[in-house]
Structure 1
Amino acid sequence: MPNPLYFKPLRFESIGLGRDMQTQDLGGSISQYIELIIFTRYGEHRYNPEFGCEIWDMDFELIQSETIWEEKLRQSLLRSIKKFEKRIYDIDIDVHISEINKFYPLRNVSEIKKRVEIVIKGKLNKTGEHYTFTTSLFLSPLSA
């Protein structure tokens, strides 16, 4: 019997109520782990300071070249995913920055934010199936 992949956050109250904890498929588990890599700053993980990615160090940088910034983040993610997420291979990452203009009519204020779209493609080691993960983040302050 294969090891179950538990949905995070873990809900331990289920055990107290006599129910099994919620499980998920392999793709969902990989997606949650990649999100954890993206949202963890280098040095934040007590037992492995190399876990995470560089987006936290780059968040408030003045972006002079979007191409260089995108490539720096792409390389950081690629290194971390190759090192820590061993359930996928043949990994390809696309990072793209765009500007979002949002107008708030009640305050008569226009707000421009930078949005980073991250697309990660690969193949599952177990089956060879294609895997895709997509997320968008807003910079300064970083939010999902």
Structure 2
Amino acid sequence: MAHSFFSLPFRPDELLSGREHPRQPNLEQAIAEHLSVILRTTPGASPGNPEYGCRIWHHLAERVRGEAWLAQFKEDVRNAVVKNEPRLTGVEVDIKTTRSDRNDLSLTISANMVPGGRPFRFARTILTDPIRMS
């Protein structure tokens, strides 16, 4: 049996009005969309689950950056993914500086998908001047 997943943005009005909500048939894409939401959401922004989200923006606002900052940043991203995306196991996070003149960062999340254990990779660039994710 083929599975499908709700696509983002989620539109509850579609379901409440009896219409079919757009679906995403691809598990990898559904997980990638959800990771983007997790990473862009600050903890406390979701009233139903105040712990949902990631502290990326907190870390990017800090002036002092170094090895300890980078290690804590990676750990916070990893914890957010493990806590909020149950379709991934063995989550590993790598964050590297890509442009030292702007402090841009390369974020890579590697894991295995549940079920089946197929490899999954999510990569984004975090631009810090101004702060945004692409």
Q: TM-score, normalised by structure 1?
A: 0.77
The aligned counterpart of 1:105 is none
The aligned counterpart of 1:46 is 47
Determine the C-alpha separation between the residues in 1 that align with 2:40 and 2:20: 30
Cα offset, 1:50, TM superposition: 0.9
- Helix, strand or coil: the match of 2:115? coil
**What does 1:5-20 correspond to in 2, within 5 Å?**
5-10=5-10
The aligned counterpart of 1:130 is 119
Q: How many residues align?
A: 129
Determine the C-alpha separation between the residues in 1 that align with 2:71 and 2:118: 27
**What does 1:54-133 correspond to in 2, within 5 Å?**
54-65=55-66, 67-99=67-99, 112-133=101-122
Please say if residues 93 and 109 of structure 2, whose CA atoms lie closer than 8 Å, have aligned partners that are also in contact.
Answer: yes
Cα root mean square deviation, aligned: 2.4
Determine the C-alpha separation between the residues in 2 that align with 1:19 and 1:53: 31
Cα offset, 1:95, TM superposition: 0.9
- Helix, strand or coil: the match of 2:103? strand
Please say if residues 99 and 115 of structure 1, whose CA atoms lie closer than 8 Å, have aligned partners that are also in contact.
Answer: yes
The aligned counterpart of 2:36 is 35
Determine the C-alpha separation between the residues in 1 that align with 2:58 and 2:65: 15
Listed one character per residue, the Cα deviations across residues 9-54 of structure 1 (whole Å, up to 9, x for unaligned) are 25778xx9x8872423111111111111110111111111111111
More helix by share: 2
Please say if residues 5 and 30 of structure 2, whose CA atoms lie closer than 8 Å, have aligned partners that are also in contact.
Answer: yes
Please say if residues 59 and 140 of structure 1, whose CA atoms lie closer than 8 Å, have aligned partners that are also in contact.
Answer: no
Please say if residues 44 and 52 of structure 2, whose CA atoms lie closer than 8 Å, have aligned partners that are also in contact.
Answer: yes
Give structure 2 stretches of 5+ with no counterpart: none
Kindly name which structure, 1 or 2, has the bigger radius of gyration based on alpha carbons.
Answer: 1
Distance 1:64 1:82, change over 3 A: closer
User: 4+ runs of 1 displaced by more than 4 Å?
Assistant: 10-13
